[in-house]
Structure 1
Amino acid sequence: MFVVVFRILLWKPFFERKDIVGQPDKPRILFWTTIFGAWFSHMSENGTIELPYWEQNPKCADRCFISNDRGTIDVSDAVVFYYCDLNASDMPDRRAQGQKWVFWSLESPTNCDMTPLVSWKTAINWTMTYRLDSDVLDAYGTITPKKVPTVYSFESLRDQWMRKSIMAVWPVSHCDTFGKREHFVEELRKHMRVDVYGKCGNYSCPRFTGCHRKFAKKYFFLLSFENTICKDYVTEKLYFTLLFDIIPVTFGGADYKALAPPHSYIDALSFKTPKDLAIYLKQVAENFDLYKSYFSWKGAHDVKRFTYYTFCNLCAKLYSSSFHERSAYPDVVQWWNDSSQCRGWNKDTMTLS
């Protein structure tokens, strides 16, 4: 049995520390792991950045230091571990009693190896994920009401609609997934045309070449299908698609009604079968009044893709009363894996299982 043993640090929280010039210190956040095998790209040469760290983050009101220098663990107020890069044999050998260890993930539980986390399941204080019940929310995007509503041009939309000729497009890079979206699309293609781009199809559109803009010119719908069907898991596939004049068709475990405006998407899993979905999509594509109803929300809402406000939120939490409170997950594996309720689509029963 793997036993976790720590050396206790002679550590002071930031509000009891002074910086090198004798001024009150700021909270320090240490990235212990890489993120998908690489360090956070906005680090300076000495491995440190300070929030707010570039002009895209005007809302980052609080100031914190972020570092990947493991030598700073003795003065770090939070230590962040990215789920997919965890290594059970490469964890800190010491920690401070008041130091917050943060479990971070943008991936669903099924997309990375759970094994390294098991040995450390009682060591986590805070979670920072896409899950709505995380201590720090790390969403792939946001949809918010506009301060000043604008007028959306339905005349321009009608011109686009008349030029569109193909039902749906599916850009995809993972062909065999836990959620079995590929089986759903296989059935769907029996009833309507779906052009598949990427590693799993016959069409290609290199990244960063304006693919979605090209898709919006010829397709009525884009399949925004997640690779896993897990609680709250919704990625940039939805948010990025909403930026264009093409209707996203979703497939996932999130409560889309709570995340997106009514009539901004079509939920594939709300239909009994892929055939039923195809019948409805054809109705929408053939009727402009029905089609345009899926764009009415655009004049009243703004969509933002993934930003790094997450670190601003983590920084703010270190300034809050939560930092002073003792907190720890009795079993973060249970919270992350079991309560995420990940399922897959069964092509035999055409249900989730």
Structure 2
Amino acid sequence: MPIISSPYQRKIWFSAESSNTVVNNFSPKSYFDYTLTYHSKSDAIFSYARELYNKTIFLQTDGDVILKSKGILRIAGFISNCKTQSRREDFIEKLAKYTQVDIYGKCSKNLNRISFCEKWDNICVREVIEEYPFHLVLENSMCDEYITEKYYDRFYYNSIPIVSRRKFYSKIVPNESFIALDDYNTGKEMVNHLQYLIDNPLRYLNYFEYRKSEYIPMLDQVKLKSQRGVYGLCDLLKKNKYKRSKKKIENVVEEFGRMSECDSADAISKMLNNW
């Protein structure tokens, strides 16, 4: 990493992962000019939602199609990182006490499900998930706006996603399109509500009502265009092409941590113990 650079040179700090994964990384003080991360407070945004830009996506609205194979309460999850900061594995273990939770991928205890779908085979993943009324979208960290391909690649699947904390999603995706762990005081209370939705198909279908709207926040093309990763960064650099570098981020790791607002290990433990 060069110590001395031209006053017209810009240095970019990039992370597509949560701030929890970089908290111990060394970063020189007052060195970087801009940030490029998934968070909207970054100078340029590398959002996982960028994959939706310029794509034609069909959103199923036919209730009979959505309800196919949804008569029994079951939860699916594709998980390959078995020990996480968010402790999703512990939340899943609690859920499994009260209902059927089928895990696919490296973290499955069922040998037949470890390699059930080839890596990047989204067609296979979709076929599996749509056999379940609910599927897990629990990230490896609980951080504001940290929403990865686990959500965006599957938001058009005919299955209701289960996320960690509502506040991390409600600013970005349709608020009535998902279920959050912290909507409930305990895992048992959550499972009771999921069973209620299974027993009342019209209430279940309410989670897909957003698809009938002409305006879906996460599909806002103007917003997505501004989240073009390196393309957005290039636009930023062009605007400042002939300007001397004035802005220096004193401590970029701490700055990223502040904008990410990740739950601490203690906060997650408290939530888990009470849940």
TM-score after normalising by structure 2: 0.81
- CA distance in 1 between partners of 2:241 and 2:161 (Å): 38
C-alpha deviations, 1:43-96, integer Å up to 9, x for none? xxxxxxxxxxxxxxxxxxxxxxxxxxxxxxxxxxxxxxxxxxxxxxxx124311
Give the equivalent residue in structure 2 for 1:239.
152
Match of 1:154 in 2: 63
Match of 2:75 among 168, 172, 193: 168
Measure the CA separation in 2 of the matches of 1:170 and 1:331.
37
**Displacement, 1:166?**
4.8
Code of the residue aligned with 1:207 in structure 2: it is K
Structure 1 residues 192, 315: CA separation in 2 closer, same or farther (over 3 Å shift)?
Answer: same
Deviation string 1:248-273 (CA, Å, 9 cap, x unpaired) is: 11115863111111311111122212
Instruction: Flag the structure with more relative contact order, 1 or 2, with Cα contacts below 8 A and sequence separation at least 6.
Output: 2
**1:171–1:341 Cα change, 3 Å:** same
Shift in Å, 1:295: 1.0
Contact residue 163 and residue 179 of structure 2 kept, 8 A? yes
Q: Secondary structure at the match of 2:163?
A: strand
Aligned to 2:84: 177
Match of 1:207 among 119, 136, 139: 119
- Match in the other structure for 1:349: 273
> What's the CA shift string for 1:215-256, capped at 9, x where partnerless?
233111110001111232111111112121111111158631
Partner of 2:187: 274
Cα pair 1:170 1:223 within 8 Å, conserved:
yes
Among residues 10, 20, 24, which one is paired with 1:110 in the alignment? 20
Alpha-carbon contact 1:234-1:252 (below 8 Å) kept? no
Contact 1:168/1:193, CA 8 A, preserved across alignment: yes
- 1:136 and 2:50 aligned: no
Give the Cα–Cα distance (whole angstroms) in 2 for the partners of residues 187 and 150 of structure 1: 32
Structure-2 separation of matches of 1:253 and 1:138: 22
Q: How many residues align?
A: 254
Supply the RMSD in Å over aligned alpha carbons: 3.0
Number of the residue aligned with 1:335: 255
CA drift of 1:310 comes to 1.1
- What is the one-letter code of the residue matched to 1:187? K
Structure 1 position 192, deviation (Å): 1.0
Amino acid aligned to 1:349: N
Unaligned 5+ segments in structure 2 are none
Q: In structure 1, how many angstroms separate the alpha carbons of the residues matched to 2:203 and 2:166?
A: 26
User: Which amino acid in structure 2 is aligned with residue 318 of structure 1?
Assistant: L
Question: What is the aligned counterpart of 1:284 among 184, 188, 197?
Answer: 197
Aligned to 1:121: 29
Query: What do the CA deviations read for 1:120-167 (whole angstroms, capped 9, x no partner)?
Result: 1320110000112100011111689xxxx9882223223x145x5451
Residue matched to 2:99: 192
Of the candidates 98, 101, 106, which is equivalent to residue 11 of structure 2? 101
Return the letter of the residue paired with 2:61.
Y
Q: Which has the higher helix share?
A: 2
User: Which segments of 5 or more consecutive residues in structure 1 lack a partner in the other structure?
Assistant: 1-90
Q: Which amino acid aligns with 1:126?
A: Y
2: CA distance between counterparts of 1:254 and 1:130?
16
Letter in 2 for 1:136: A
% same residue:
25
The answer as to whether partners of 1:243 and 1:303 remain within 8 angstroms in 2 is no
Q: TM-score normalized by structure 1?
A: 0.64
Q: 2:175 aligns with which of 254, 259, 262?
A: 262
CA–CA separation in structure 2 for the residues paired with 1:113 and 1:101? 19
Q: Is the 8 A contact 1:284 1:291 kept in 2?
A: yes
Q: What amino acid sits opposite 1:350 in the alignment?
A: N
Whole-angstrom CA distance in 1 between matches of 2:166 and 2:29: 24
**What letter corresponds to residue 105 of structure 1 in structure 2?**
S
Which residue in the other structure is 1:61 paired with?
Answer: none
The CA distance in 1 between the partners of 2:150 and 2:166, in whole Å, is 13
Q: Per the alignment, do residues 208 and 96 of structure 1 end up closer, same or farther by CA in structure 2, a change over 3 Å counting?
A: same
Q: Does 1:222 find its partner at 2:135?
A: yes
Distance 1:101 1:252, change over 3 A: farther
Q: Which amino acid aligns with 2:19?
A: P
Name the counterpart of 1:73: none
Give 1:173 shift. Answer: 0.8
SS at 1:346's partner residue? Answer: helix
Which has the larger Rg? Answer: 1
Structure 1 moving runs of 4+ over 6 Å: none
Contact 1:101–1:125 under 8 Å retained in 2: yes
Secondary structure of 1:229's match?
Answer: coil
